[in-house]
């Protein structure tokens, strides 16, 4: 990273919420796609989480570090096969630290960032995610979001409700989005994926991968 390239590309969408287009190199995207293929197979296979009302989400999710189901974290995937989820990889935590340091332009915040859970989401052509807050974490540390594959429309809103004011932006393959500070508990969602907009060079033939890293603040089980 050089200073000449990177600050010009940052866009603060709301206080503490920063979009950095094209942050991941193609090689990094390829590496994540290859890992995704392993993660998706298990030991806890990728699945559509069931909402309390019984509906399944259209997005499919596999977790690292802690297993998430609406609306809690456990080490074991009681709603899938009861098996413990994969460890949170060190390389992903390193990437998370770099993401926080660069997006927030705060090396100390980066160094102090220790994500212990990742939700790895896969969107097919019709998948979407309604407006929600990431609030099953006890910690208020930032969320780091990485996108690979098809472009989506991402809606980043306010901390009060699902409505206006919000900002719509496109998240493309390689984009980083970090939200922390006053925006940590802002509502956000993915109203739409644009099919066939991603480059096959990432190794992902279709669809969209999104990884959100979080600090749960939970004690070990």
For binding to Fe ion (CB under 5 A), which residues are involved?
A: 134
Minimum CB distance to Fe ion smaller for 145 or for 151: 145
For ligand AKG, the closer of residues 111 and 138 by Cβ is 138
CA distances, 76 to each of 46, 72, 86, 145, 209 (Å): 14, 11, 10, 23, 23
Which entry of ligand AKG, Fe ion, none binds 145, CB below 5 to 8 A by partner kind?
ligand AKG
Tokens read off for 190: 């993915």
Between 19 and 188, whose beta carbon lies closer to ligand AKG?
188
Cβ proximity to ligand AKG: between 66 and 154 the closer is 154
Q: How many CB atoms sit inside 10 A of residue 39's CB?
A: 22
Q: Which of Fe ion, ligand AKG, none sits in contact with 190, Cβ below 5 to 8 A by type?
A: ligand AKG
CA distances from 29 to 3, 34, 47, 51, 122 (A): 22, 9, 22, 30, 14
Closest contact distance (angstroms) between CB of 149 and ligand AKG is: 11
Contact partner at residue 121 from ligand AKG, Fe ion, none, CB < 5 to 8 Å by partner kind: ligand AKG
For ligand AKG, the binding residues (CB under 6 A) are 119, 121, 129, 134, 145, 147, 154, 171, 188, 190, 210, 212
Q: Using CB distances below 5 to 8 A depending on partner kind, what does residue 176 bind out of ligand AKG, Fe ion, none?
A: none
Strand 11-14 to 188-193 pairing: unpaired
- Tell me how crowded residue 203 is: count the other CB atoms within 10 A of its CB: 17
Q: Are 162 and 212 in contact (CB under 8 A)?
A: no
């Amino acid at each position: 990273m050089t200073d000449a390239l990177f600050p010009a590309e940052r866009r603060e969408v709301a206080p503490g919420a920063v979009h950095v287009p094209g942050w991941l190199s193609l090689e990094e995207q390829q590496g994540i796609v290859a890992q995704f293929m392993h993660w998706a197979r298990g030991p806890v296979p990728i699945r559509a989480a069931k909402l309390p009302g019984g509906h399944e989400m259209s997005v499919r999710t596999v977790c690292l570090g802690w297993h998430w189901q609406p609306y809690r974290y456990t080490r074991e995937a009681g709603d899938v096969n009861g098996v413990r989820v994969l460890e949170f990889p060190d390389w992903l935590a390193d990437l998370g630290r770099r993401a926080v340091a660069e997006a927030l332009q705060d090396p100390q915040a980066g160094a102090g960032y220790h994500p212990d859970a990742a939700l790895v989401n896969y969107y097919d052509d019709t998948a979407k995610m309604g407006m929600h807050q990431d609030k099953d974490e006890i910690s208020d540390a930032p969320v780091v979001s990485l996108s690979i594959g098809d472009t989506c429309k991402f809606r980043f809103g306010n901390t009060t409700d699902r409505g206006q004011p919000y900002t719509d932006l496109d998240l493309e393959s390689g984009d980083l989005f970090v939200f922390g500070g006053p925006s940590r508990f802002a509502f956000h969602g993915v109203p739409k994926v644009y099919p066939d907009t991603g480059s096959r060079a990432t190794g992902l033939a279709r669809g969209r991968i999104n990884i959100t890293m979080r600090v749960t603040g939970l004690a070990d089980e």
